[in-house]
Amino acid sequence: MVTLTQPAALVPPGPNGGGKHYHRADRRAVAAATTVRVGPHLIGGTALSIMAGPCSVESAEQLLATARSVKAAGATLLRGGAFKPRTSPYEFRGLGEEGLRLLADARAATGLPVITEVMSERDIDLIARYADVLQVGARNMSDFALLEELGRCGKPVMLKRGLQATIREWLLAAEYILAHGNSDVILCERGVRGFDNEFTRNTLDLNAVVVAKTESHLPVIVDPSHGTGRVDLVIPMARAAIAAGADGIMVEVHPDPPNALSDQKQQLDLPGFDRLMAELRPLAALLGRTIW
């Protein structure tokens, strides 16, 4: 017989919303906001976390050129998808384990810890062997079996907000990971489906950043690449995210965006990422945040 695992201390229905409340993610549940250690960095502290890299890992050359360049400009983590959630099964779906190996090589070459997406419970052990942070993509935010297993994976998890998820649903998804034993959870706002898909891909919800920072003790990262879908909006919305109190950003960077195998329109080129960092530095200083 198959039974579902329940977190040890089930919270009874009560005035605080019972099962509909995020008891473990609640800001009031802990004295201090959570910081998540990744390599030499703390995510959620005074220092801003800058996660940068290509949408998809495509080749050793592409990844290394990007990793070296973003590291020199001040990135703290290297991102890159090896298992890619694509709308169509005929699009490039990533290099799989070979992509994970290339990420590990880029980490060895630059010292940057790596974050990459896990789409399925099936892949957790494999990805956890290579990555420093496991990313749950927007399309899988409500895969509760995946979230439960990530509670036991032993690595930090960054949980992206679902395309149509309310803020409570997002916090409750984080609660699944926390309730199954993993306290290293990072939230990531990446835009929600709005009604304008002519000029933007998604609507970056900066309200949600402030709400998540107030309602929970978890670090909050903003992804202005998927949040806008337009390279010319990435720098302004990254600035806005930091001004709103985000603990950092995740941005897509590619040496040759027009020829990228995914998300060509929203990836910064290498000089574009340098410009982003140059614009964030004075803003961070003004806000009492630091950049590596």
Segment contacting ligand PEP (CB under 6 A): 13-21, 62-70, 133-141, 172-180? 133-141
Contact 60, 254 (CB under 8 A): no
Question: Residues 37-76 vs Mn ion: string with x where CB under 5 A?
Answer: ------------------x---------------------
Q: CA-to-CA distance for 236 and 227, rounded, in angstroms? A: 12
Cα dihedral sign for 80, 82, 85, 90?
positive
Considering only residues 18 to 47 of the shown chain, the ones binding ligand PEP according to CB under 6 A are none
Closest approach of Mn ion to the CB of residue 17, in Å: 34
Question: Residues 205-244 vs Mn ion: string with x where CB under 5 A?
Answer: ----------------------------------------
Q: Residue 91 or 125: which CB sits closer to ligand PEP? A: 91
HSE-up of residue 28 (Cα within 13 Å, Cβ side) = 5
- Considering only 44, 74, 117, 147, the residue that binds ligand PEP (CB under 6 A) is 117
Q: Residue 55 or 242: which CB sits closer to ligand PEP? A: 55
Segment contacting ligand PEP (CB under 6 A): 105-113, 136-144, 236-244, 274-282? 136-144
**Across the strands, what pairs with 216?**
26
**Tokens describing residue 247:** 């603990």
Q: DSSP class of residue 107?
A: H
**Across the strands, what pairs with 251?**
52
**To which H or E segment does residue 153 belong?**
none
Contact 277, 50 (CB under 8 A): yes
Q: CA-to-CA distance for 242 and 222, rounded, in angstroms? A: 8
Q: CA-to-CA distance for 260 and 253, rounded, in angstroms? A: 10
- Considering only 43, 82, 127, 138, the residue that binds ligand PEP (CB under 6 A) is 138
Residue 289 contacts ligand PEP per CB under 6 A: no
The entry of Mn ion, ligand PEP, none near residue 247 (CB within 5 to 8 angstroms by kind) is none
Closest approach of Mn ion to the CB of residue 252, in Å: 5
Q: CA-to-CA distance for 271 and 238, rounded, in angstroms? A: 16
Closest approach of Mn ion to the CB of residue 262, in Å: 6
Closest approach of Mn ion to the CB of residue 55, in Å: 3
The β-bridge relationship of strands 41-43 and 36-38 is antiparallel
Q: CA-to-CA distance for 134 and 128, rounded, in angstroms? A: 7
- Considering only 41, 71, 107, 226, the residue that binds ligand PEP (CB under 6 A) is 226
Q: CA-to-CA distance for 221 and 35, rounded, in angstroms? A: 12
- Considering only 23, 71, 160, 217, the residue that binds ligand PEP (CB under 6 A) is 160
Residues lying near ligand PEP in the complex (CB under 6 A): 55, 81, 85, 117, 137-139, 160, 190, 223, 226
Residues lying near Mn ion in the complex (CB under 5 A): 55, 263
